[in-house]
Amino acid sequence: MEIGTDAFKAASIIQNGGLVAFPTETVYGLGANALNSLACARIFEEKQRPTFDPLIIHIYQIEQLYKIFESPIPDTVFELALNFWPGPLTIVYKKMRAIPDIVTAGLQTVAVRMPSNSTARTLLEISNVPIAAPSANKFGSLSPTKPEHVLKQNFNIDYLLLGENPTKGIESTILLIEENECFLLRPGAVAVEEINKIRNVRMDLLNQKNNSPSILAPGRLKYHYSPKKATFLYKEEVSIPSNSALIAHKKKLFDNRFKKILYTSENENLIEIAANLFDKMHILEDDNEVENIFIEPVKPEGLGLAIMDRISKACAKYSS
């Protein structure tokens, strides 16, 4: 795989059906021309991702929506776009027939977002095609927020585009629009409280089991975003085995039972915690001296809802 900052080269690879990993403001994406089924099929192969898990399409200008969402597009979609795009909000709505089934996993809806990251925008603009891109990691493992996190996946892809790094550190918030109602499918980098100022967000699909294909959002699978090591939620009263490390969110938290403590923030700043969480998990996943990872929980409010979602999923295999 070639690595570089040449957006023209990356764009021509996309246009010719190749795969390019690139930064967005949330995490790195693994992109292909969304209108090319074969190229999109390669994404699933490289990620070892089940084909029931649909992809998000990335665009750089609002006019592109008319070739992706079925008309008439509800006002709610434009209102959300006006307020949160470019940025880490993904909107799911009915798809046009031209959108390949492989992208949507056969669903009648499609997920779209307009990233704000300057490198992603340049790539989208030069390619001049919508780009389907899941996070650039193997299925179920930690999301990549730095180039080295992408490199450690050992993907067989054509290009890793470097440029502006992700700043948010966790994935986009996903909303399903149905008859002008908004349902939260995945908490993410835009806090629900912010969206509630524009439109009321219904939370009733969030914790529902994946039993209805129309609301399938496999980011909600129980074991997602997990380090390849025993990972637990930190509670003061639990016993800590030797060779354990802690990810904490405030400098005043110190516990001498740990071999190492990594801090995402000095004072529980949610923006910093989100930006650093996956990186700290990657560091401990790769650290041969560490056998167990413990993570301090956060209050599930504001950005904390998405942070706690990622922490719970990382710990899901080892919690009852």
We find the least distance from the C-beta atom of residue 279 to ligand TXA, in angstroms, to be: 16
Nearer to ligand TXA, 296 or 309 (CB): 309
Inter-residue long-range contacts of 186-189, CB under 8 Å, 24+ positions, other chains counted: 186/90, 186/217, 186/219, 186/220, 186/306, 186/309, 187/305, 187/306, 187/309, 188/26, 188/88, 188/89, 188/90, 188/306, 189/25, 189/26, 189/87, 189/88, 189/274, 189/303, 189/306
Of 62 and 105, nearer to ligand TXA (C-beta) is 105
- Contacts to ligand TXA by CB under 6 A: 24, 26-27, 29, 53-56, 88, 90, 92, 104, 107, 109-111, 133-135, 171-172, 174, 185, 216-219
Residue among 33, 116, 117, 135 that touches Mg ion (CB under 5 A): 135
Binding mask 228-267 for Mg ion (x = CB under 5 A): ----------------------------------------
Q: Are strands 131-132 and 28-33 parallel, antiparallel or unpaired?
A: antiparallel
Question: Which helix (H) or strand (E) covers residue 84, if one does?
Answer: helix 75-84
Q: Which does 262 bind (CB under 5 to 8 A by kind): Mg ion, ligand TXA, none?
A: none
Number of neighbouring beta carbons within 10 Å of residue 82: 10
Residue 98 CB neighbour total at 10 angstroms: 9
* Minimum CB distance to ligand TXA smaller for 136 or for 248: 136
Of the two residues 135 and 153, which places its CB atom closer to Mg ion in the complex? Answer: 135
Q: How far is the CB of 28 from ligand TXA (least distance, A)?
A: 7
User: Among Mg ion, ligand TXA, none, what binds residue 110 when CB lies within 5 to 8 Å by partner kind?
Assistant: ligand TXA
Compute the least distance from the CB of residue 294 to ligand TXA, in Å.
25
| 92 or 246: CB nearest Mg ion | 92
CA distance 56 to 59: 10
Minimum CB separation from Mg ion for residue 135, in Å?
A: 3
The β-bridge partners of 231 are 293
Rounded Cα distance between 114 and 124, Å, is 10
Q: Which residues contact Mg ion (rule: CB under 5 A)?
A: 135
